[in-house]
Structure 1
Amino acid sequence: MKILLVEDSYIERRKLGAFLDDWGFEHVGVGSGTEAVKLLEAPDPPNLALLDWLLPGLDGIDVLRRIRKIDQGNYIYTIMLTAKSQKKDRMIAMEAGADDYLSKPVDSGELRSRIMVGKRILELQQSLRFAATHDFLTNLLNRSEILAALDREFARGGREGKPTTVILADIDHFKRVNDTLGHAAGDEVLKEVARRLKLDLRPYDVVGRLGGEEFLIILPGCSLTAGARRADSIRNLVGKDPVNTPFGTASTTISMGVTSTCSSRDRSVEEFLREADLSLYAAKKNGRNRVEIFTAASKAAAAGEI
């Protein structure tokens, strides 16, 4: 956990910083509200802020109000440190967005206890956030989150003039695994396939489970040709070895459909996904365990049979 210490007194900042060092916390110290806001509004901000009330420029209350207006995805837990100790002062700080309030002079033992409370709350929030955005079985992004990620990448690619390629993947003959080895074995296969899908991805690629045995992979800034090569590499990784489960061994392959925004034709996210789905249909129709790229011919063929 990273802590931001905002205190205009250099001596007090050094003293509190020494406590944080002794307790093993990573931290950064600044002396003004303006510096604090800059760090708290940056990507990957500190998780917890120890915030003095009386600061040059923006005061602690101003800082609180600014950061509470920002939706960064990760909540910043704040503890107000101040000599103001009247009830009305605590109410002002809490209404501005402070999570806790500690009067000066600061007792080191009490400060550590308050920080540990904040740490526990942040960890619980992180666990709840993970549960809300990830598939419970595979730990990949769940359907709503992977589709939201696709919306973001689709829009970003359009703004920046860069391609976005998607791979729609489906485990071949997955019903046979459930029917012959049981649903518990099927769950093990899903977890192992999910693990293998990530082996050849870049740090900024995104993968999620759409539902059942179907997965979506987003490749930002990737051309259709490069995306097809990546899909074939992933296909080989998934099908190279059978999946061993406590209930038996399953030979597992996947079919994949690939499409990209590389073409000049404008379309919606829904049409984009439809293209990937038609390509996946073509891969299934043409024998499974293969990659198919979206083309006008595949669209016409699928339209005639679906």
Structure 2
Amino acid sequence: MKILIAEDDRIQRIALAGLLTKFGYEVEEVFNGEQALSRMLAPDAPSILILDLIMPKMGGLEVLAHIRKEMLDVKPYLIMLTAKGAKGDIIAGLDAGADDYLCKPFDPGELRARLDVGRRFLKMQGALLESKVALAHQASHDVLTGILNRRAILDQLEKESSRTKRHGEKLAVGICDLDHFKEINDKYGHQVGDEVLRECTRILGENIRPYDYLGRIGGEEFLIIVPQQADTEPLPIFERLREKIAQDKIMTRAGELRMTVSIGISCQSEGGGVDEIIDRADKALYLAKKQGRNRIENSCRSKGTDIDQG
């Protein structure tokens, strides 16, 4: 674990650094408040800061206040150094954001004990942050396929809609529905159906661009968001996806299966909000199903795209 010492007294700084190194810490040293603040706000900042309250250029209290104002995901553990018995300094430092304090001249045993408290705090903070990230992922991702769930993909569509409008770009949306999926569940069971969903998700995910978005909106339906330049067409991207689903073997516990997909496309350039975009894509999908499946209907223009059944 890395510790930063901010102390303008060279003798105190050397003595403290020697003890910390002996305790097994990686030590960095600065001698004024501005250096301390700059280092603690860096991406690779030390986990613990031990700082004197009285330093040149920027005092310890100001450094503490600045660090605590920053919206840091991982908050450092801050220990202030103060003169023995200076109750006013201790109170001021804790009010400014210090987690603990150490009186000078410091006792090695007390120093080690207070650092152990800091390590436990940082470990607990790390566990809480991991739990927060995991919960956020669970809230936004589909459990079966691992891609964005309905709420998350629709939220992303709102964001992309606003962004592309601001930049004068085009936005296309495709609703993809696996053909005859109910028959898979009825014939082979839901476990095989789940395998088909995961494999089709993998194929779709591997064949979209890094800046496209893929989400599952229910059952065997997927929503794909495709940002486009104003002079480009979305059809080739969706045609590639349709072809890959039709061509690739779907390996399941029931053996090799073949799937096809029907896709309805709509574009933001036709006007309306997100609900209208989804509605047009849904109607285009319905038409693709009605016209025989394994095809694309493109509402971005007046006539559907003729695609032979696979």
The TM-score, its normalising length taken from structure 2, stands at 0.71
Tell me by how many angstroms 1:200 deviates. 1.6
C-alpha distance in 2 between matches for 1:226 and 1:4: 52
Tell me by how many angstroms 1:50 deviates. 4.6
Change (3 A) 1:115 1:253: same
Which residue identity lines up with residue 65 of structure 2 in the other structure? I
What is the match of residue 173 of structure 1?
180
Change (3 A) 1:143 1:78: farther
What is the match of residue 260 of structure 1?
267
C-alpha distance in 1 between matches for 2:150 and 2:45: 27
Tell me by how many angstroms 1:46 deviates. 6.8
Q: 2:68 aligns with which of 24, 49, 64?
A: 64
What is the match of residue 290 of structure 1?
295
Does residue 80 of structure 2 align to residue 82 of structure 1?
yes
Query: More deviation in 239-248 or 125-134?
Result: 239-248
C-alpha distance in 2 between matches for 1:273 and 1:47: 45
Q: Number of residue pairs matched? A: 272
C-alpha distance in 1 between matches for 2:278 and 2:48: 46
Q: CA RMSD in A?
A: 3.9
| SS of equivalent residue, structure 1 residue 166 | strand
The TM-score, its normalising length taken from structure 1, stands at 0.72
Which residue identity lines up with residue 283 of structure 2 in the other structure? L
Does residue 274 of structure 2 align to residue 269 of structure 1?
yes
Change (3 A) 1:236 1:66: same
C-alpha distance in 1 between matches for 2:4 and 2:274: 44
Which residue identity lines up with residue 240 of structure 1 in the other structure? Q
Residues 63-142 of structure 1: matches in 2 within 5 Å? 63-67=67-71, 75-83=73-81, 92=95, 101-104=99-102, 107=112, 112-142=119-149
Residues 228-280 of structure 1 deviation map (CA, whole Å, 9 limit, x = unaligned) = 1011111111221231211343321111111222x3x4311100111111111
Tell me by how many angstroms 1:172 deviates. 0.5
| SS of equivalent residue, structure 1 residue 215 | strand
Tell me by how many angstroms 1:133 deviates. 0.8
C-alpha distance in 2 between matches for 1:298 and 1:234: 20
C-alpha distance in 2 between matches for 1:260 and 1:63: 46
Unaligned runs of 5+ in 1: 40-44, 69-74, 300-306
| SS of equivalent residue, structure 1 residue 80 | strand
